[in-house]
Structure 1
């Protein structure tokens, strides 16, 4: 699961405002140069209204600001979105360049999405996690974009309104979702160490005067107390009529429209995923029959194909690392993947952009076991982090189940997906895009779809030595993306239960019990995002085939990959329109 800043920060962006609204444009200016100038003004206004998002995007002008999430600020944000949509109306879309057209669509979608989030979704009333601000403070503390003393002073000023911030949060919450409430309590309790310990440790490394440090530490204590008080308030909150975590069909369709920006509807993706599951089962059965004699000798082969696949996968899953070696095993994969991509000439990987494998920070825990956090487009030289969930303290049976899921085959595929040439590589390209809009308003389905696509691309080009074991395990992995889409739609627009989810994932997707139960937790604290993997993957594969047909003998995989990534993190449907249109003109 990719958790880059450009995606995760959007969730925070809906609820803040500022005094100055909008960035108009002269009606007579309708060409791409005028639109580019407008984009600069739009972004500056966007960051004034969203200082936390700005910080995590690498724009640090407003690092010291924390805006209290009250109704006045939401109204100011609504006014801002309306002014931007009016400004967009001053441009003739057909007179813009292909790149500017995509930016136009992205800005329009983001403004409409913000309006919908405030007026229809209203997650600020039922999702306490909306107010988890620890991530932006941790970013200021940990990223070395400015001298430490300057960052610590920004941190100090930003803390000033934390007590008021959480008092306002308590006023906004109404009948919250229990699952989201529990997750928020866990994340705040784990993440408060940023204020209680990390800030003090950082101050010790500076020459800031002792009396000033005392003031800074006193405010950090007040902040930590406010965070813990909010968590305690949530824990004690009487909630006789909690909102269901199920989004509902109408809200789901709207959220899919704004978040995924697909050329397909949620129902069409669900139908396609259902058919893909059948295809994967057929292919997995073929490989299982081929491998059976190697691992089971003359033992009779099960006649039921799902049982056959399950036994083969269960046998292969026994090969895995030890719990204490999980993170180091991931780190060891990175140079191997880099060398393979270079040797096969699949695409260029910039050696100057660091990738740091680290233990997953506490404030991020509880959603995915592995993720990537990338630097924002304004902070192009920052680190990209491969966050790895810790197995420390897990019961032996739970750890064994988890490691069987991420066995020696799956671990390699995981690293392709999260790092090379998956998320890490794509996000490096995205930050090189001349369009800041495509980086700032990046599309999650494109980002996740690329990561899934690269898994297949690597195997197609011989990664894993074309071993049937690796292909069987990748089909299982791909089945995960497919089932993610099926489950997310079925749970949030219907009544699929935990028992049904776990049964599908363990019996039809061959996942370990721990993985299946973890997915239920994830679908109960998120919505739509789980569809992004399969949706983006399907659209990229479809584009590659259409582009291959268009180019004929001139098609080269490296050219396709790099051309595709050159568009930044734009929705695949717009990249497809542009790539295929360009070739039609030649």
Structure 2
């Protein structure tokens, strides 16, 4: 999972890519009539100006996102979720949209046609999020995510001297009680889902861990009045967090009566904005169900061959199994992988080791250009736990040379031995390798490092979740096809099991939010059809309730990446070069895959 730029509604999952300088206006080509070239150049210049004004205004309205992008002009400010603050976002977005409507998009350069389409989608998404989705009225994650990120993004990376960052975090901490007040004012307990309230109640104390682990140990960098102001801000925030916890526990959680299911209308509208893909909800489900069937058949063949060489193999193992036979054989083979797993306290260590090994393999096989920017495997900050097991947090493009964080959630201390066993069966040794491929190499870390080199402002800020997550899932297949871990059949089996997870994600999201899928049916899809362990499935059930339109990004992007590669392979024939292809795809930044396809195949931008 990669934490990327999202609309105002998804602050918890927002760790944005950075903004670059506006794209240079393309020089006219010799094949264009002079008048047409001049008009195109003027339109490109107008769009460059508009996109820069949008970026400046958008980041000013969202200071935490501004810090995340690497634009540090707003480091002392905090997002305003009051009615007036929300209206500012709407007014600003409508003004930008009106200006976009006056542009002759067809006369823009092809790159800017893509960016104009991306910008239009985002501006409309922002308006829809505030006016129609209204997450500010029912999703407390919006506020806790912003509060935690407000501190974390200032302290996690050394983008400026520590005293400067401490002064900024002091001013943000002084403003956090106002954010809490806005949260209490805006949220309607009758609309807040119980699962959202309970999750935020657990996350709230994570703010104090940020203070204790990132801020307080560095307080000595300040002295005099600045140190006193920092200490006062910390003391005030501790009180505010305690008061907030009391309100969460005694008011919000007991009175939360909202429905976590979006319903068909809101879901379909959000899905269209979030994916920016030609695939409809129905098409996504049809593709996912077909892919599950095909992948299970592949797993059966791998398992059948593997087990035929071992004693105590399931019997029978026919060439054409029925459903029960297929299930039993695949499960028996997976048990061999589950037996090889890390100790409870060695998961992060194995994540580091597997990242190193995957990097060496990518270089050896010459699969894609490897960036030289650093990556660190870290424990996931407490305020961000509870949604995903791991994520990739890349620096903004303006924060040159800073670390990428591959964050792994620790096993909760409160888990029973049975729960820990379930988790480690799912995240066995080979699965940790698969996780590192997805999050780091050649998945999110590599792809976002390439993306941050693209000159487009919009491509840098508004990275497509389906391109990003789809690439990471595609990267898993690339390494499996290239024989990672010496074509180990158990690794081949685990890779396909992980693919099944993404396919199930795409079905779960719409089935839960639109079709009313029950927890029992969701757990059956995950634990039986797609072989997930109970702890993984239980966590995914929670995640599917807390989020929407994010879980399909993996499979949708993966499908589109595979479709694009097949088309290029067909076009290039024997001249197809996998490294050249990957470098070319990644050179476009992180647009929705539909636009990467149109650019690569020289098709009209739609």
Task: Output aligned runs, 1:110-189, within 5 Å.
Answer: 110-132=122-144, 133-174=147-188, 175=190, 176-189=192-205
Partner of 1:568 in structure 2? Answer: 589
Partner of 1:263 in structure 2? Answer: 278
Partner of 2:464 in structure 1? Answer: 443
Higher mean C-alpha deviation, range 536-545 or range 300-309 = 300-309
Q: 1:486/1:200 Cα in 2 relative to 1: closer, same or farther (>3 Å)? A: same
Q: Give the 3-state SS of the residue equivalent to 1:356 in structure 2.
A: strand
Partner of 2:535 in structure 1? Answer: 514
Q: Give the 3-state SS of the residue equivalent to 2:205 in structure 1.
A: helix
Which of 520, 530, 551 is equivalent to 2:572?
Answer: 551
CA distance in 2: counterparts of 1:212 and 1:289, whole angstroms? 68
CA contact (8 A) 1:376 1:431 kept: yes
Deviations, residues 496-524 of structure 1 (Å, cap 9, x unaligned): 11111111211111111111111111111
Partner of 1:577 in structure 2? Answer: 598
For residue 299 of structure 1, report the CA deviation from its aligned partner. 5.5
Partner of 1:195 in structure 2? Answer: 211
CA distance in 2: counterparts of 1:553 and 1:248, whole angstroms? 48
Higher mean C-alpha deviation, range 186-195 or range 84-93 = 186-195
For residue 28 of structure 1, report the CA deviation from its aligned partner. 10
Q: 1:391/1:93 Cα in 2 relative to 1: closer, same or farther (>3 Å)? A: same
How many residue pairs are counted as aligned between the two chains? 570
- Structure 1: gaps of 5 or more residues: 16-26
CA distance in 1: counterparts of 2:369 and 2:256, whole angstroms? 54
Asked if residue 479 in structure 1 is aligned to residue 478 in structure 2, the reply is: no
Asked if residue 50 in structure 1 is aligned to residue 62 in structure 2, the reply is: yes
Asked if residue 424 in structure 1 is aligned to residue 445 in structure 2, the reply is: yes
Deviations, residues 415-437 of structure 1 (Å, cap 9, x unaligned): 11110000000010111111121
Deviations, residues 468-503 of structure 1 (Å, cap 9, x unaligned): 222222111100000011111100101111111111
Partner of 2:417 in structure 1? Answer: 396
Deviations, residues 148-187 of structure 1 (Å, cap 9, x unaligned): 1011111112223222221121010002111111111111
Partner of 2:385 in structure 1? Answer: 365
For residue 345 of structure 1, report the CA deviation from its aligned partner. 1.0
CA distance in 2: counterparts of 1:382 and 1:528, whole angstroms? 30
CA distance in 2: counterparts of 1:12 and 1:468, whole angstroms? 40
CA distance in 2: counterparts of 1:13 and 1:476, whole angstroms? 28
For residue 241 of structure 1, report the CA deviation from its aligned partner. 6.5
For residue 283 of structure 1, report the CA deviation from its aligned partner. 1.2
Q: Give the 3-state SS of the residue equivalent to 1:75 in structure 2.
A: helix
Q: 1:300/1:172 Cα in 2 relative to 1: closer, same or farther (>3 Å)? A: same
Higher mean C-alpha deviation, range 116-125 or range 469-478 = 469-478
Partner of 1:24 in structure 2? Answer: none
Q: 1:509/1:12 Cα in 2 relative to 1: closer, same or farther (>3 Å)? A: closer
Higher mean C-alpha deviation, range 266-275 or range 389-398 = 389-398
Asked if residue 250 in structure 1 is aligned to residue 265 in structure 2, the reply is: yes
Deviations, residues 248-287 of structure 1 (Å, cap 9, x unaligned): 1111101111111111111110111011111112111111
Which of 292, 296, 305 is equivalent to 1:277?
Answer: 292
Partner of 1:411 in structure 2? Answer: 432
Higher mean C-alpha deviation, range 117-126 or range 185-194 = 185-194
Partner of 2:28 in structure 1? Answer: none
Asked if residue 311 in structure 1 is aligned to residue 327 in structure 2, the reply is: no
CA distance in 1: counterparts of 2:540 and 2:60, whole angstroms? 36
CA contact (8 A) 2:379 2:408 kept: yes
CA distance in 2: counterparts of 1:420 and 1:583, whole angstroms? 33
Task: Output aligned runs, 1:371-386, within 5 Å.
Answer: 371-386=391-406
Asked if residue 349 in structure 1 is aligned to residue 370 in structure 2, the reply is: yes
TM-score (norm 2): 0.90
Q: Give the 3-state SS of the residue equivalent to 1:581 in structure 2.
A: coil
Partner of 2:244 in structure 1? Answer: 230
Deviations, residues 29-78 of structure 1 (Å, cap 9, x unaligned): 84323322322222111111111110111110010012431111111110
CA distance in 2: counterparts of 1:299 and 1:136, whole angstroms? 54
For residue 363 of structure 1, report the CA deviation from its aligned partner. 0.9
Which of 51, 68, 73 is equivalent to 1:39?
Answer: 51
Partner of 2:80 in structure 1? Answer: 68
TM-score (norm 1): 0.93
CA distance in 2: counterparts of 1:85 and 1:211, whole angstroms? 46
CA RMSD of aligned residues (A): 2.2
Q: Give the 3-state SS of the residue equivalent to 2:371 in structure 1.
A: coil
Q: Give the 3-state SS of the residue equivalent to 2:309 in structure 1.
A: helix
- Structure 2: gaps of 5 or more residues: 15-38
Q: Give the 3-state SS of the residue equivalent to 1:567 in structure 2.
A: coil
CA contact (8 A) 2:465 2:553 kept: yes
Q: Give the 3-state SS of the residue equivalent to 1:61 in structure 2.
A: helix
Partner of 2:118 in structure 1? Answer: 106
